[in-house]
Structures are given as structure tokens and as C-alpha cells.
């Protein structure tokens, strides 16, 4: 599958999902076939938010998506290593960074900038990681959604620029790194140019 075809598969699956007729609700038929090997075509970096179920919203069966989820869908060392595994070892042709509307992690970063109050426990580590994009998008109206979009842009750039495996695959036209945001209410994924 080409990177362009991989993008088209996700776009088509998201359309099936939003239109209410998904194709891949039952996955048990694939289980035995997948037990011996996996060949996911895309790595998806998404948020942990329970309302953003990656396989469901792209209407893809088990075995298709290599998914990394962390609150705020940013990349760190282990996320990057997981992503590189998906590309170099498993052969994925696409990396998709998936932000979403009303993201609690970016809301926490915005709240921190406004109030100065730290989050409890180690949660502040997440807030600190996301504070730069929140600061860069500061505004009165639509701040959180602007931060969500900017976080996707920044994360796409970080992935492109911090991995020789990614850079080599892009140079050989074997990989694309793209991003988008998922709307909790409509179910649509909107691409973000980056």
C-alpha cells in the first residue's frame, strides 16, 4: 500500500463511521490469521481520551493500526521508539497524529497558564509537556481548539525531524507523516496541514 492509499483508507473508514455503517465491527474472524503476524499499514498517535477509540473511528479491524495513546498525543522517547518499530519492523506506510476537540490534557495546560496552579501528582509532567503549545496559541476565544491543532502540527514536525528511520522512509517515498483532529460530537477527522 502506498502512503497515499493509506491516507485514503483512513479517510474512507472515518466516513463509514460517521455515516453509521461501519464494516469492521466484528473482528473475531481475523483473530487466527493475525495470531502469526501483523502488518499494520498505519501508526496512529492518539489521546488516551475514552471518547476517541482509534480503530472504531477509522473503522479498521485489528491488525491494521499500530496505536500509541497518551494523554495529549505528544511524542516522547518511548513513543518515538514504538513508532519506529511500527515503521521499521512492521512496515507501516503512514503515521497519523490524531488530536481531538475539547482535549482534557490541553485544557489542563491552558488552565495552568491562566491560574498558575499545578496539577496533582505526576500529572503536572503532562501539563509541562503541553504548556509550550498552549502558550504559543494564547487567545481569548477558541484557545483550547487552537492549542489542539497546534499540538498536532508541532508533533507531526517533531516526528519528521527527530527520527532517521522516519526521515529515510519519507525520502524513499515509503512513508507519510500527517495529522488531524477528531470532533467528539460529529465523529469527523479533519486533516491539519503541517
Size of the site for Zn ion (CB under 5 A): 4
Residue 108 or 178 having the CB closest to Zn ion: 108
Residue 54 or 105 having the CB closest to Zn ion: 105
CB of 105 to Zn ion, least distance (A): 5
Q: Which stretch binds Zn ion (CB under 5 A): 4-12, 43-51, 59-67, 90-98?
A: 43-51
Q: Which stretch binds Zn ion (CB under 5 A): 40-48, 78-86, 90-98, 183-191?
A: 40-48
CB of 31 to Zn ion, least distance (A): 29
Question: Is residue 55 near Zn ion by the rule CB under 5 A?
Answer: no
- Exactly one of 9, 49, 55, 150 binds Zn ion (CB under 5 A); which one? 49
- Exactly one of 45, 47, 134, 156 binds Zn ion (CB under 5 A); which one? 47
Q: Would you say 145 and 163 are in contact if contact means Cβ atoms under 8 Å apart?
A: no
Residue 92 or 105 having the CB closest to Zn ion: 105
Residue 93 or 151 having the CB closest to Zn ion: 151
Q: Which stretch binds Zn ion (CB under 5 A): 41-49, 111-119, 135-143, 155-163?
A: 41-49
141 phi/psi in degrees, rounded to 5: -110, 135
Kindly identify the residues of this chain, within the stretch 89-118, that bind Zn ion according to CB under 5 A.
Answer: 103, 105
Query: What is the edge-to-edge ordering of all strands in the sheet holding 189-192?
Result: 65-69, 42-46, 94-100, 176-182, 189-192
Return residues touching Zn ion (CB under 5 A): 47, 49, 103, 105
Amino acid at each position: 500500500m502506498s502512503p497515499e492509499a493509506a491516507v485514503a483508507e483512513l479517510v474512507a473508514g472515518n466516513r463509514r463511521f460517521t455515516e453509521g455503517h461501519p464494516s469492521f465491527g466484528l473482528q473475531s474472524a481475523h483473530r487466527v490469521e493475525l495470531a502469526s503476524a501483523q502488518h499494520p499499514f498505519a501508526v496512529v498517535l492518539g489521546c488516551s481520551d475514552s471518547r476517541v477509540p482509534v480503530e472504531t473511528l477509522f473503522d479498521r479491524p485489528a491488525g491494521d493500526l499500530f496505536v500509541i495513546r497518551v494523554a495529549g498525543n505528544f511524542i516522547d522517547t518511548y513513543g518515538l521508539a514504538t513508532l519506529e518499530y511500527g515503521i521499521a519492523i512492521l512496515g507501516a506506510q503512514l503515521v497519523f497524529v490524531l488530536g481531538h476537540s475539547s482535549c482534557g490534557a490541553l485544557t489542563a495546560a491552558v488552565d495552568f497558564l491562566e491560574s498558575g496552579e499545578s496539577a496533582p501528582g505526576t500529572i503536572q509532567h503532562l501539563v509541562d509537556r503541553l504548556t509550550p503549545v498552549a502558550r504559543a496559541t494564547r487567545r481569548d476565544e477558541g484557545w483550547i481548539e487552537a492549542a489542539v491543532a497546534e499540538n498536532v502540527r508541532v508533533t507531526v514536525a517533531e516526528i519528521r525531524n527527530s527520527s532517521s528511520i522516519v526521515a529515510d522512509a519519507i525520502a524513499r517515498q515509503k512513508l507519510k507523516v500527517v495529522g488531524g483532529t477528531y470532533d467528539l460530537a460529529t465523529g469527523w477527522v479533519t486533516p491539519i496541514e503541517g
